[in-house]
Amino acid sequence: MTPPDVLSELFGRPAAAPAATGNGGVMIMRAEADERLLAGYERLRRTAFVEQQGLFAGHDLDDRDGDPDTRVLVAVGLDGEVVGGVRLHPEGDDPRLGWWRGSRLVCTHAGASRGRAGAALVRAACAGAVQAGALRFDANVQERHVPFFSRLGWTPVSELEGGVAPHRLMRWPVPRVADLVQRTKQPIGELLGTLLDIGAVPAGFLGDDGVPVPGSDVVAATDAILPAMVQDDPEWAGWCAMLVTAHDLSAMGASPVGALDALGARDAAHAARIVSGLRAGSQALGLPVLGGHTQLGVAGSLSVTGLGLASDPVPAGGGRAGDALSVTADLHGGWRPGYGNTQWDSTSWRSAEELAAMLGAVRAARPHAAKDVSMAGLIGTVGMLAEASGYGAELDVASIPRPHGIAAGDWLTCFPGFAMVTADDASAPPLRAGAATGARCGHLTAEPGVRLRWPDGALTTILAESAVTGLGPATRGDRRA
């Protein structure tokens, strides 16, 4: 985990005096746009890597120094002089893929202060990589510094041959996806363990997007909207409530029948804005509101229960050993204003016909398993499908459909509008879903957890735990048995 004061380090805001002392008496600042700081950093590099260590002849500058995507962090002493620095930059042909590397770490402090300042630089580089959208963060570390990096949470990967001094490839386990899963999904199993009537849940549907109602062809699904959205963006909250409910029914292969809403608002004007979004979503998504409950004079809240019909619903836990994983997503649209890079709007401007083509895709294709991408993000959703199926998963990062120019770290951890993960035979094509883009991008594995395959062939673990929700296999029996 990144220390809480690392954002102060990143943006050059001095933390409290004790924290500054803990950093070796330095401030960490961005430097790529500051000629004085950048010159100071390059001067330190030349002294250390060219003159003292003899790792380079003449200078150590390379193409990364002129790359506009490269970020430079420097440690500045109390006198304003640069006493250390590090750079971080994307690797590979696609700078938005999420593969980043740290390099040229240098620090002139002596003794314990040098270690503290160096550690502050490394921590700031890790936080900077996360901010840049990294899902993988590597560094080629001199062998004598491997213990130092290990103490900061880095893992040795392999020895590197060649060069003047021995180096080792090390990797920092980027926590972005795991942190998101922990916040949004991991407590579910323990919370619901004493609530769910496991014996009453139809076999194979434990923890699914919706649940078949016993003794009928009805599928029911319920979603609640973040209270902050209901309070501050009520029309969008209403739209999203209908959208995510329609997506849940879609992932089950169910035909929509109707919805019930439970709405709380501070007054009638606030409620009217929420209803406006609900009405727009209902009409566009073909999910008529049949009834519900409204309460005024309370804090904003909203949940919607959707009802659909499916004689043979598609489970999230129906994946089989070796099944191909596909992702089908609507890549059009853009980030919803006011939410940073966390919510992608590909739906609010679509016609009812365009939305129907996407929502009917699972029903038409009937894959072994399907799950719509939720607040756990795309990777977290893959982990949930794999967990429910009793397996792990491997994803090829470069094969996952992604909007042009959007960082993979943002795309794979956001709410992406319409996006569906499916598992099916290797010969089955991705979903045909109108304007959405589908691609085969991985497979289910016997090894638990979720791993990412990179263009250089490396395999990194992004979710080490097989239990994303803690509910386990949907059948309460390991399918591998």
Domain membership of residue 1 (yes or no) is no
If DSSP codes are grouped into helix, strand and coil, which group holds residue 442? Answer: strand
Kindly report, residue by residue over 13-27, the tens digit of the pLDDT: 333 222 333 466 789
Q: Where would I find the beta strands (DSSP E) of 297-449?
A: 301-309, 324-329, 334-335, 344-345, 369-372, 392-396, 419-424, 437-445
At 3, is the pLDDT very low, low, confident or very high (cuts 50, 70, 90)? very low
Q: Which residues of 387-396 are buried (b: 16+ CB within 10 A; e: fewer)?
A: bbbbbbbbbb
Q: Which of 314, 341, 372 is the last residue of a domain?
A: 314
Cα–Cα distance, 198 to 192 (Å, whole number): 10
Q: Which of 314, 329, 352 is the last residue of a domain?
A: 314
pLDDT value, residue 162: 74
Phi/psi for 308 (5° steps) reads: -140, 175
pLDDT value, residue 110: 60
* Nearest Cα residue to 473 out of 136, 248, 206: 206
Least confident of 128-142, 199-213, 262-276, 353-367: 199-213
**343 and 299 in a common domain:** no
Asked if residues 132 and 443 have their Cβ atoms less than 8 Å apart, the reply is no
At 258, is the pLDDT very low, low, confident or very high (cuts 50, 70, 90)? very high
Q: Which of 275, 291, 314 is the last residue of a domain?
A: 314
Contacts of 2 (CB under 8 A, 6+ apart): 123, 126, 127, 130, 175
**110 and 250 in a common domain:** no
Asked if residues 317 and 473 have their Cβ atoms less than 8 Å apart, the reply is yes
Mean pLDDT, all residues of the chain: 91
**470 and 364 in a common domain:** yes
pLDDT value, residue 193: 76
**143 and 29 in a common domain:** yes
Kindly report, residue by residue over 56-99, the tens digit of the pLDDT: 999 999 999 999 999 999 999 988 999 999 999 999 999 999 99
Instruction: Please compute the mean of the pLDDT values over residues 275-300 and round it to a whole number.
Output: 98
Cα–Cα distance, 234 to 300 (Å, whole number): 9
Helices assigned H by DSSP within 132-267: 146-151, 176-184, 188-192, 227-232, 234-251
Instruction: Please compute the mean of the pLDDT values over residues 415-427 and round it to a whole number.
Output: 97
Cα–Cα distance, 262 to 239 (Å, whole number): 14
**252 and 142 in a common domain:** no
Quote the pTM value: 0.90
Neighbour order of strands in the sheet with 99-107: 27-30, 71-76, 82-90, 99-107, 136-142, 167-172, 155-160
Domain membership of residue 191 (yes or no) is yes
Domain that holds residue 400: 179-208+315-481
- Token readout for 393 is 């998963």
Domain membership of residue 406 (yes or no) is yes
